[in-house]
Every structure is written in structure tokens, then in C-alpha cells.
């Protein structure tokens, strides 16, 4: 069954891999991205919508307009987010708000807009890309971990709320993924292929979740590299 899916953070990293996977599988994709000007690097089969999910004051209007334009949406994959790692006292108040707004609150707002629509569909899916940071707090990760812990608790509770409907809620918690996520950070996964996950690995898992029989779901899955190695910049 071909689906019409909304993907946040669709133009790069994990979101781009999922977008490519779903397009190749015959699905329709509405891709949200902060910057869609570089059309050459983005698949033309995607219906692109420019949207900065961290700007919560404008997000509801963007999503409302989008749902009117694309009423056939029957699922969403939430990939937008970023990492910022420091001791808590090194964050400004504004930085705290920005990180939580993007990594958690924006996804709650979009879900709130989608749920009433998805409940009227034959089948609806909400797939959240979490993190291994949602499983255990780590040094210098207080706020990033908090945002992912919040997303995990949100998805668990939302799954219970939707259990008697046609809406399935899934959470994927990947370990370190080889993407540009680490470009601005002071650490990265090791270089051996067993030290990291590829975006395509997550994309294939998303594809599996979407094609499961209607009466089944994957509620939460942790996806890890075979050998976890962290390499710090000197």
C-alpha cells in the first residue's frame, strides 16, 4: 500500500535517507526542511515545504496550511533535531529553550495537529527518531538527554492513547549514526564500520514499520552499532 508521509528534517542526514527510501518504495513524501533552496541536491519527487521546526510561534500555522494542501497524509516520520553537549551552566537560557523546542516540543505540536486526522484514516503511523541518549543520562548531555527522554515518554504515552484507534506510534533509538550531526561536535564515532550506524539502516527500519500488517506494531526499538567506539577531537 502506497502511503503519503510527512517527514521533518527531510533534506539531510537520517531524514534524507528515509525520504529516499520511501520515494524508491513508491510512497509520496512531503518533506519539511529549514532550507529547500538547493533543489539540485534534493529529490524532485518530494513535495518540499520550507519550515524551521524550532520556531514554535509560526509552526502551527505552517502545519495547518500544509494539512489543508495535503489532506491525504496518513503518517509522519520525525527526524528534525540537533545535538548540543556541554555542562548545564554553559548553556544560556535561550539555548536551553531552542534545543528543547526543536528536539521535543515541535514534535508534540505537529503530532497534536496530525492525530485527529490520522484517526480517521484506515491506518496512520507516527514514527519518532529518538536516541540512545533517551536510555541513560550522560555527562555533558543533560539537555540533549532530557529532550530525548521527553520524546521517549511522549511516544510511550501517545501509543497508549492511540491503542484503540488505527494510529500506530513507534520510536527508534539509534546509537551513533554516521552523519553531519557530528560536524559541529567535539566527538564522533570510531572509523571502523562496526562503530557506527548508517542512515540507510534506519531508513530500512522505517520502511519495515510502515509495511507491517495493520494489526501489529513495533513500539520501540534500540538500534546500535556492533562495537561502540567514541573518538574525541584532539
pLDDT of residue 41: 56
Q: What is the CATH number of domain 4-232?
A: 3.40.50.720
CA nearest to 212, candidates 111, 154, 125, 119 = 125
pLDDT of residue 7: 97
d(CA 96, CA 136): 19
The grid coordinates listed for 173 are: 533509538
pLDDT of residue 42: 56
Residue whose C-alpha cell is 495535503: 70
- The SS3 call for residue 46 is coil
Half-sphere exposure of 118 (CA within 13 A, CB side): 26
Q: Long-range pairs for 61-68 at CB < 8 Å and ≥24 separation? A: 63/109, 63/110, 63/113, 64/113, 66/6, 66/30, 67/113, 67/114, 67/117
d(CA 179, CA 130): 15
Rounded (10°) CA dihedral 196, 202, 208, 214: 130
Note whether 170 and 220 are within 8 A (CB).
Answer: yes
pLDDT of residue 39: 45
Q: Which distant-in-sequence residues (6+ apart) come within 8 Å of 65 by Cβ?
A: none
Instruction: Report how far apart, in Å, the C-alpha atoms of 208 and of each of 67, 74, 231 are.
Output: 25, 16, 31
- Give pLDDT tens digits along the chain (234 positions): 789 999 999 988 999 999 999 999 999 999 999 877 654 455 668 999 999 999 999 999 999 999 999 999 999 999 998 888 889 999 999 999 999 999 999 999 999 999 999 999 999 999 999 999 999 999 998 999 999 999 999 999 999 999 999 999 999 999 888 887 777 767 687 789 998 899 999 999 999 999 999 999 999 999 999 988 888 876
pLDDT of residue 38: 55
The pTM score is 0.93
The grid coordinates listed for 174 are: 539509534
Q: How many CB atoms lie within 10 A of CB 36?
A: 17
Amino acid at each position: 500500500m502506497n502511503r503519503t508521509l510527512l517527514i521533518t528534517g527531510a533534506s539531510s542526514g537520517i531524514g534524507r535517507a528515509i525520504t529516499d527510501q520511501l520515494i524508491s518504495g513508491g510512497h509520496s513524501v512531503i518533506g519539511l526542511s529549514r532550507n529547500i533552496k538547493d533543489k539540485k541536491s534534493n529529490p524532485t519527487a518530494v513535495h518540499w515545504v520550507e519550515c524551521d521546526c524550532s520556531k514554535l510561534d509560526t509552526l502551527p500555522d505552517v502545519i495547518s496550511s500544509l494539512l489543508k494542501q495535503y489532506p491525504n497524509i496518513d503518517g509522519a516520520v520525525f527526524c528534525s533535531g540537533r545535538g548540543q553537549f556541554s555542562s548545564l551552566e554553559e548553556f544560556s537560557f535561550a539555548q536551553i529553550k531552542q534545543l528543547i523546542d526543536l528536539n521535543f516540543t515541535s514534535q508534540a505540536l505537529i503530532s497534536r495537529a496530525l492525530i485527529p486526522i490520522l484517526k480517521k484514516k484506515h491506518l496512520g503511523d507516527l514514527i519518532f527518531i529518538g536516541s540512545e541518549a533517551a536510555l541513560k543520562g550522560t555527562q555533558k548531555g543533560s539537555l540533549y538527554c532530557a529532550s530525548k527522554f521527553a520524546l521517549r515518554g511522549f511516544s510511550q504515552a501517545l501509543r497508549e492513547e492511540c491503542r484503540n484507534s488505527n494510529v500506530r506510534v513507534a520510536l527508534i533509538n539509534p546509537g551513533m549514526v554516521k552523519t553531519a550531526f557530528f560536524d559541529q561536535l567535539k566527538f564522533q564515532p570510531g572509523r571502523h564500520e562496526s562503530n557506527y550506524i548508517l542512515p540507510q539502516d534506519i531508513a530500512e527500519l522505517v520502511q519495515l514499520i510502515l509495511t507491517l500488517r495493520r494489526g501489529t506494531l513495533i513500539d520501540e526499538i534500540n538500534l546500535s552499532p556492533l562495537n561502540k567506539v567514541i573518538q574525541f577531537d584532539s
